[in-house]
Amino acid sequence: MVTLRRSLLAAILALAAFPTSAQERAITVASTTSTEQSGLFGHILPLFTEAAGIRVRVVALGTGQALDVGRRGDADVVFVHDRAAEERFVAEGFGGPRHPVMYNDFVLVGPAADPARIAGARDVAEALRRVASARAGFISRGDRSGTHAAELRLWREVGLDPVQGRGQWYREIGQSMGPALNAAAAQGAYVLADRGTWLSFRNRQDLRVLAEGDERLFNQYGVMVVSAARHPHVNAEGARRFVEWLVSPVGQAAIASYRINGEQLFFPNAPQPEPARPS
């Protein structure tokens, strides 16, 4: 009994020493594979944990799946890159408000042989038109990710339905960016990639960035706290502190400082107005 009382007293003293509750010291973030596979989280999350004393567990999925995790209340924060889907998430009452955090861009990657002749193209619609016309191999993530949503939006602008070429030149793999790049490298195919994952990708073989620079390739990331009104069990306080840190000067500087071979992967823009959302 004495031992039990001492154990209870030790637990009470330990809790008193830390004003933040055990729940507040851990949060779950549902995010995109690009933030994970690029190495960004490995860079910034230890800095946040050191500053706030809150551990972060990441569930890395395509954006559509990450938003579904938030809808179910299985995460405290959603950190993704499909503005239209994010705005629906907020409008439906699953979380918010939405905060812009950072951006980079998408690039159209393909084999050095470039059978569709798109090298140097700055009009991504024309580049995709050439890929379809040449029936050159194209790897689609096909996983409801932000990158997949961007790819489908670009095909719509071209006025083409690439699914008609499914199983021939157009191949959906239902996987994240890393496996999609691996598939493109193995098959000598084209693929739309976020620049962050591309810069951190090691198995390039003869893949090259062939089309870039079109304003339609802009890639914005946003973050939202999951609604505690919908899901009372979520760690709203820990989530709020994480979001506030991300958009603070300290968090924004941490994002900007992440580089690979001297090249910056993500560009913070929390305090800046966002460009108009692509239709």
Give CA–CA dist 154/15, Å, rounded.
53
Residue 20 lies in a domain: no
SS3 86: helix
Residues 130, 233 share a domain: no
**Domain count across the chain:** 2
**197, 217, 237 - which closes a domain:** 217
**What is the predicted pLDDT for the residue at 186?**
96
Residues 55, 152 share a domain: no
Sign of CA dihedral 41, 42, 47, 50: positive
Q: Dihedrals φ, ψ of 255, to 5°?
A: -65, -45
Residue 30 lies in a domain: yes
Give CA–CA dist 212/120, Å, rounded.
8
Q: Specify the CATH number for the domain of residue 193.
A: 3.40.190.10
Of 107, 63, 106, 59, the C-alpha closest to 82 is 63
How many residues belong to the chain? 279
Residue 211 lies in a domain: yes
Residues 143, 74 share a domain: no
Of 214, 149, 146, 208, the C-alpha closest to 181 is 208
Token pair in block for residue 275: 């460009």
Residues 54, 189 share a domain: no
Residues 204, 123 share a domain: yes
Residues 124, 86 share a domain: no
10-residue averages of pLDDT along the chain (279 residues): 38 36 78 91 97 96 94 97 95 96 96 96 93 95 92 91 82 94 96 93 94 95 97 96 97 96 94 63
**182, 197, 217 - which closes a domain:** 217
Please give the residue range of the domain that contains residue 213.
Answer: 104-217
Residues 234, 162 share a domain: no
Residues 127, 200 share a domain: yes
Residues 109, 96 share a domain: no
Residue 166 lies in a domain: yes
**What is the predicted pLDDT for the residue at 164?**
77
Residue 197 lies in a domain: yes
Residue 4 lies in a domain: no
**What is the predicted pLDDT for the residue at 124?**
95
**What is the predicted pLDDT for the residue at 127?**
96
Residues 136, 32 share a domain: no
Residue with tokens 């209340």: 73
Helix or strand run (H / E) with residue 30: strand 26-32
Residues 241, 207 share a domain: no
**Reported pTM:** 0.83
**174, 200, 217 - which closes a domain:** 217
